[in-house]
A and B are shown apart, each in its own frame.
Chain A
Amino acid sequence: MSLVLSGIRKRFKDRDVLSGIDLTIPNGEIHALVGVSGSGKSTLLRIIAGLETLDAGTVTWEELPLHGVPPHLRRITMLSQSPLLFPHLTVGENVTLATPNRSREEAEVWLTRVKLPGRYDAEVHELSGGEQQRVSFARALAAAPRLILLDEPFTNLDPGLKSELQRLIRDLVRELELTALLVTHDREEAMLVADRVTLLETGHVRVTGTPVLLSETESTFGDFVELGGAFYPSTEIDVSTEPTSDSLVLVRPFIRFGHHFGEYRRSTGEYVILPRNESFEVGKTYYLRQKQGGI
């Protein structure tokens, strides 16, 4: 029982957006699709949801091919960057509409689960962006899906709210034993939320693996460190808490799967997660420099 994508191809005008994607996601897994803008990750999600047609390939969910199955019969829901709540309905009515029996009681339970108890009769515009996104998540869960598609749902949230919602979604998805597919360009987010990660590059699957494995094997997960505009293997880099003239500030050490990682920003603006380093301490600032006698 799993989501199986086989040979998925999609072309928009003169550009191949997806060039033969093969991917299997077991039931109950939280899987992250990571890639830069234009790598085809959102298109892939929309194909699975039935919002976009595919040019070639098959999507099979719980052993049933989804070709020709309309979105409302797929038991798949999707959470987007924006909350996309219906403005003519109250907060609770938005959720009730999604429940299979149109039950207010059920909707109130879901609102409580996303920490918005007693807000059933509130108008949508009375809620903050983060609260609206939580309602949107409650609506997605209320539809009793087996697969939930998360299309960069944390992008427009401030950092505190973002991590709160990341944890909430991860915990609820695990508790309900749903399968989830998260699209993100944020590698740290993928590491925090997902069981496995797939890197998409220009419509191809570059690699699939656990976040820890990828952090150790993939250059985009920090195998190469940029110093002064040049790239060095991470084995040639020293990490210290003392700044030097040729050093680079390392921000945001974090812990995932019990291991310590660190993240820094390349001059291109891209965030890079460094390989495991158990000496990284969350909350501290670290500096990188080329090892003495290195290349």
Chain B
Amino acid sequence: MSRILVAFLIVFPFIGLFLTFPTSFSWDEAILNTIAYVISIALVNVWLGVGTAWWLLFTESRWKSWVEWLTFLPLFIPVLASMFGMYIALAQVGLIGTYTGVGLVLLVTTLPYSIRLAYNAMYVIGRPLLEQALTFAPLARIGFVLLPLLKESVRTIVLFSTVIVLSQFVLVQLIGAGLIPTVTTRLYQAYAGNDVSQALQNTWVLVSLPVLFYIGLGGIFSIWIRLVKGRLQ
């Protein structure tokens, strides 16, 4: 009985969606902006998240605990609380209402999660096993060992950063000054203006993107590992 209840609670938000598919779909600036942000923020998150986690795991620097504290600090402060600080800082350098400004705040809000995810994954794999990879040249180390070992955490980082980027409405509106349209900002406008077909299309984009990226990345990793193993046969 409890399983049925849990299943219902998980499926419940999507029941309405599956009953009403959009009848038409049109690519617009908001969708293209969203996809560009999702891909670029996810890539930078994987790069900086895994890189910082590696540094935190291996460094002996006396600054390590400070850096660790700083990188995880945003996890403890709600975005709404830090938003105004970011607004003032970006206004000083003229990045309000720009694509760069919006990209920067989206990165700032996602990166701490990515560092934590990558760090936890490396901690579970263990420093001794990761050190074995150091005996291989950098490209072989990444391609043959680190990517396959970290594939699940990379997928999770991409999923998390995608979902967080897609969830930001207030931040994008404030820093983008209403000039940078994304699916999320359009969705709220569609709801407010009672534009059902626009709202439905944007909702489907929001639901589809994380699922597509997660499944797509899984496929890419499977192909990659097959190639790696083929090279060793």
Contacts and interface: CB of A to CB of B under 8 A. Distances in A.
A88 B225 contact: yes
Interface string A57-75: 0000000000000111000
Given A70-B134, A80-B128, A97-B144, A88 B149 contact: yes
Interface stretch (B16-24, B29-37, B81-89, B135-143): B135-143
B124 interface: no
Nearest to B148: A88
Given A88-B225, A97-B140, A71 B232 contact: no
A72 B128 contact: no
B229 A84 contact: no
A80 B130 CA distance: 13
A259 interface: no
Interface in A81-106: 82, 84, 86, 88-90, 92-93, 96-98, 102, 104
Interface string B8-45: 00000000000000000000000000000000000000
Contacts of B128: 80, 82, 84
Interface residues on A, range: 20 to 34
Contacts of A89: 229, 232
Contact of B135 (A53, A92, A143): A143
A93 B225 CA distance: 12
Nearest to B140: A97
A86 B136 contact: no
Nearest to A70: B134
Interface of A: 50-53, 70-72, 77-78, 80, 82, 84, 86, 88-90, 92-93, 96-98, 102, 104, 143
A97 B129 contact: no
Contacts, number: 50
A89 B129 CA distance: 13
Nearest to B125: A87
B132 A72 contact: no
Interface string B110-148: 000000000000000000110110111110110011001
A72 B232 contact: no
A86 B129 CA distance: 8
B148 A102 contact: no
B65 to A, nearest CB: 12
A77 B229 CA distance: 23
Interface residues on B, range: 20 to 34
Contacts of A84: 128-129, 132
Given A51-B134, A72-B135, A102-B231, 6 more contacts: A72-B137, A72-B141, A80-B128, A86-B148, A86-B149, A93-B232
A96 to B, nearest CB: 4
B134 A97 contact: no
Nearest to B141: A72
7 contacts: A70-B134, A71-B134, A72-B138, A72-B141, A86-B145, A104-B232, A143-B135
B97 to A, nearest CB: 45
A63 B215 CA distance: 52
A92 B233 CA distance: 9
Contacts of A143: 135
Interface string B211-229: 0000000000000010001
B143 to A, nearest CB: 10
Contact of B232 (A52, A53, A82, A97): A97
A77 B148 contact: no
A77 B232 contact: no
A86 B233 contact: no
A72 B134 contact: yes
B148 A51 contact: no
Contacts of B60: 52-53
A173 to B, nearest CB: 18
A82 B140 CA distance: 23
B58 to A, nearest CB: 9
